[in-house]
Amino acid sequence: MANTEFGQAVRRWRDRVSPDAVGLPAGGHRRAAGLRREELAMLAGISADYVTRLEQGRASNPSTQIVETLARALRLSRIEREHLFRLAELTPPGPDTVPAYLTPSVQRLLDRLTGTPVAVFDACWTLLVANPLYAALMGDPSGWRAHERNAVWRNLLGPGTRVRHTPASRRAMEGNLVADLRAAAGRYPADRQLRRLVAELRANSARFGELWDSGAVGHYETARKTIDHPQVGPLTLDCDMLTVAGSDQRVMVYTAEPGSDDAERLALLTVLGTQQLTG
């Protein structure tokens, strides 16, 4: 019964979200005004087959991460999001867990900055959502799962990012990311996913253990960055971080100096990224 009710709720909320509200073209024949299953799957970063099985009650026990990403893709209110968690027989995240709920105002900001690479990270530096241009610039994160979405894990255990570093800038970046993570662990000591992340990093990264045990303080700072893109070449962009009041989240925004070669490359990337998504 719980699986059926969960699927019915997803279908009902999918039908009420118009494509233009989430930045998708509304062309072509549609039987309903809402999102297609394939569109919801793309927005949530899961397969269309899995969305089908969820809606038909054939997929059981969706994870906390799946419920969270569906809630964001469906633009659920805080109360609706909590209801979806309960339908999945999960405890809604409380005040002792790292906030992952995107407020409507942050979502509108993402919707409007279509020509600017924008991403939102939580207090642990886990990527919550990225717009298409950010995905085109930094690599498509839709297939990333669990710790793969965390910037600390990617830089200390994973494949890293496209940002170019000197040895000194890399050391500073790693130190500041770990300091941010330690601060988050102090604010949210009951968060299980955060504890698992720290345990995996300590078990597999000597550099993380060194930084964690040093007790160094600081925070991740943004500045001009050079991104080595495999198609358009290097882009030197200004990277600014906006903090979301009351939610402990960070909005990362990349911009280019008007009239520069970097602005031209970013404009080209906008076209290339749109073509890739369409394809």
- pLDDT for 47 equals 86
Q: Average pLDDT for residues 136-160, to the nearest whole number?
A: 90
Which segments of the chain belong to CATH 3.30.450.180? Answer: 104-278
Q: Choose the most confident range, by mean pLDDT, from 32-46, 65-79, 207-221, 264-278.
A: 65-79
C-alpha atoms less than 13 angstroms from C-alpha of 159 in its C-beta half-sphere: 8
To 10 degrees, what angle do helices 2-16 and 78-87 make? 150
From residue 230, give the alpha-carbon distance in Å to each of 76, 159, 175, 251, 266: 36, 15, 27, 25, 13
pTM (2 d.p.) = 0.84
Q: What is the pLDDT of residues 170-192, one digit of tens each?
A: 999 999 999 999 999 999 998 99
From its phi and psi, is residue 233 left (phi > 0), alpha (psi between -120 and 50) or beta?
A: left
Which segments of the chain belong to CATH 1.10.260.40? Answer: 2-87
Q: What is the pLDDT of residues 53-100, one digit of tens each?
A: 999 988 878 888 899 989 988 999 989 999 999 999 998 888 889 999
CB 273 within 8 A of CB 246: no
Q: What is the pLDDT of residues 197-233, one digit of tens each?
A: 999 999 999 999 999 999 877 777 778 999 999 999 9
- pLDDT for 104 equals 83
Q: What's 104-278's CATH class?
A: alpha beta
Over pLDDT 70: what percentage of the chain?
94
Six token digits for residue 58: 């054939």
CATH superfamily for 2-87 is: lambda repressor-like DNA-binding domains (1.10.260.40)
Q: What is the pLDDT of residues 96-106, one digit of tens each?
A: 899 999 888 88
From its phi and psi, is residue 125 left (phi > 0), alpha (psi between -120 and 50) or beta?
A: left
Instruction: Fill in the DSSP letter of residue 126.
Output: B
- pLDDT for 27 equals 63
Tell me the H-state helices in the chain: 2-16, 37-44, 48-55, 64-73, 78-87, 104-112, 132-138, 151-156, 167-187, 192-204, 206-214, 261-278
From residue 213, give the alpha-carbon distance in Å to each of 113, 194, 206: 39, 17, 11
CB 185 within 8 A of CB 193: no
Task: Work out the mean pLDDT of the chain and round it to a whole number.
Answer: 88
